[in-house]
Amino acid sequence: MRKLDDRNIDLGEIIPELDDHIIICRCEEITKGEIREAVHMGMFTMTEVKRLLRPGMGLCQGQTCSRYVRNIIAKELGVSPLEIEDNVARPPMRPIELQVFGNEVESE
Amino acid sequence: MSVKIADVIIIGSGIVGSSAAYYCRKKGLSVIVLEAEIIGHGGSSRNGGGVRQSGRDARELPLAMYAVKHIWPNLKEELGVDPEYMQKGYLVCGYNEEHKRGIENRIKVAAAAGIEMTLLQGKDIQEVNPYVSEHVTCAGWTPSDGSANPLTATLGFYKRARELGAQYYTHEVVVKLQIVRGSVKRVLTEKGNVYEGSQIIVAAGYEGRNIIKTVGLDVPVYPRLVDVIITEAAAPMFDHMIGGMSGFYGHQTNHGSFVFGNSTGREQTLGCYADKLYSTAYNPAFICNTVGVDIPALKPLKIIRTWSGWIDMCTDGVPVIGEVKDLPGVILDIGSTGHGFCPGPAVGQTLAEIANGEETSVDISKLAYERFDYATKSKKYYA
């Protein structure tokens, strides 16, 4: 079994760090400390951290902060960032107005 | 290979699996939860967040009503995570005679169960929601309905159950159940691990069908793909759930973004299945169209994300919940048919009560597994 698939591994006490107040996800204003706390609550994947706190759910959809979030989670769990699966990208590529999206016409 | 033992083995870590784990731990039962993907991968995280009693089948209504009355209001304190539950009502919009008849039918079912639901017409509709288009001529209004955040609610149950000592294993794909001395007792996984418990709860959505087939059980469920759109955050406009008889449903979240879901019903003919979780090309456009027609004020809002999920359709519209008469040791929750989020915690509590050998707080006799069994037997007798 991969280490991260056992959700009961002991991460120890959460030790405050000097830069815990730094904002990692600028769109949703999520700090490093909040992400670290979420990992200690049992959120071991990018998707779970995102669903709980919203980093990567804002206007840029994680294009800016994904790497930082991933590194923070990996460091907290004591694994390589490569072991943390990246967030899923979803359409649309750019924000698009509801009235434009809903006005599709069949081409000739 | 390893053998792990607990009082209760739960397959599936969604809102039902995780709330069952939470209630089992509160009763002092040891719990192992097995999840094939990550926490809440299925419909628990992929739904519109409606905590709705109106428009439900009378057979499953008691579970939804129990959850609204006894569970949802206290969850924030119980879990230590905010599920953003708001009981601000549900407005369902229609614009023709057929829609009106549909709403009147829902009112009849609601009234029989003692839920207040009224038919609104003309200007009364705009009084509840000033953003609704004037072409909406009739609407059903249920003040006791509401909404919640599926993501934090599901993860909140997981977090609390884990704190209380439930053992979670992710990416642990169950391939087989095993019967030992006449009772379902063992769970075998793809990685070759074995889990043993005196009660096995199967709350794995439609994938549960393949799991229970290994001990000769079957429930007629099939997956159906639906899409959801998310808008950018907007200033607060209205705080109740809204839906249309044209099929869309959604609400404005605490965060300010709007969430709306719908489907055209053409997914299967176009080759969209739940094993490929792609957003379809046409559903999001269809949602935007139906929402824009009923709530024109939302037209300038930008869509920032679309996602898809699947509904575990049960052929008769309600899930199978509870024990199987002829096969002890297995407790089922399968086939929520797209409305399993609101009653989810109540289902979890019911499953935990059954696992602990207690009388259930809610009557689930109409959701029994045997309702399909009888049908096949009678065919055999009279064919």
Mean pLDDT by 10 residues, chain B (383 residues): 92 97 98 96 92 93 96 96 96 94 94 95 94 94 96 97 97 96 95 96 94 93 90 95 92 95 80 69 89 94 92 92 94 94 97 96 94 58 38
Query: What interhelical angle do B15-26 and B344-355 show, nearest 10?
Result: 40
The fraction of chain A above a pLDDT of 90, given in percent, is 74
Q: How many CB atoms lie within 10 A of CB A39?
A: 20
State how far residue B45 is from chain A, nearest Cα, in angstroms: 9
Contact yes or no for B300 and A97 at CB 8 A: yes
Residues facing residue B8 across a β-bridge: B31, B199
Ordered domains of chain B (ranges, CATH): 3-48+151-220+316-377 (3.50.50.60), 90-143+222-314 (3.30.9.10)
Question: Which residue carries 């159940």 as its tokens?
Answer: B177
pLDDT of residue B381: 42
pLDDT of residue B280: 78
State how far residue B377 is from chain A, nearest Cα, in angstroms: 43
Residues facing residue B314 across a β-bridge: B221
Chain B stretch 130-149, residues whose beta carbon is closer than 8 A to a beta carbon of chain A: none
Phi-psi region of B365 (alpha: psi -120 to 50; beta: other; left: phi over 0): alpha
pLDDT of residue B380: 42
Contact yes or no for B289 and A103 at CB 8 A: yes
Model confidence band, residue A99 (pLDDT cutoffs 50, 70, 90): very high
pLDDT of residue B378: 46
pLDDT of residue B176: 96
Q: Is B382 exposed, middle or buried (0-12, 13-18, 19+ CB in 10 A)?
A: exposed
The DSSP H or E segment spanning B302 is strand B302-314
* Tens-place pLDDT, residues A42-93: 999 999 999 999 999 998 899 899 999 999 999 999 999 999 998 888 888 8
Q: What amino acid is encoded at B249 in this protein?
A: Y
pLDDT of residue B259: 96
Model confidence band, residue A2 (pLDDT cutoffs 50, 70, 90): confident
> Is ipTM over 0.90?
yes
Ordered domains of chain A (ranges, CATH): 23-90 (1.10.10.1100)
C-alpha B149/C-alpha B48 separation (Å) is 8
Please tell me which residue of chain B has the smallest CA distance to A98: B299
Please tell me which residue of chain B has the smallest CA distance to A6: B169
| Nearest alpha carbon to residue A88 among B41, B195, B94, B334 | B41
Both tokens of B157, joined, read 């149950």
pLDDT of residue B333: 96
pLDDT of residue B24: 98
Q: If DSSP states are collapsed to H, E and C, what string results for chain A?
A: CCHHHECCCCCCCCCCCCCCCCEEECCCCEEHHHHHHHHHCCCCCHHHHHHHHCCCCCCCCCCCCHHHHHHHHHHHHCCCHHHCCCCCCCCCCCCEEHHHHCCCCCCC
C-alpha B141/C-alpha B120 separation (Å) is 7
Nearest by CB: B38 against A1, A48, A99: A48
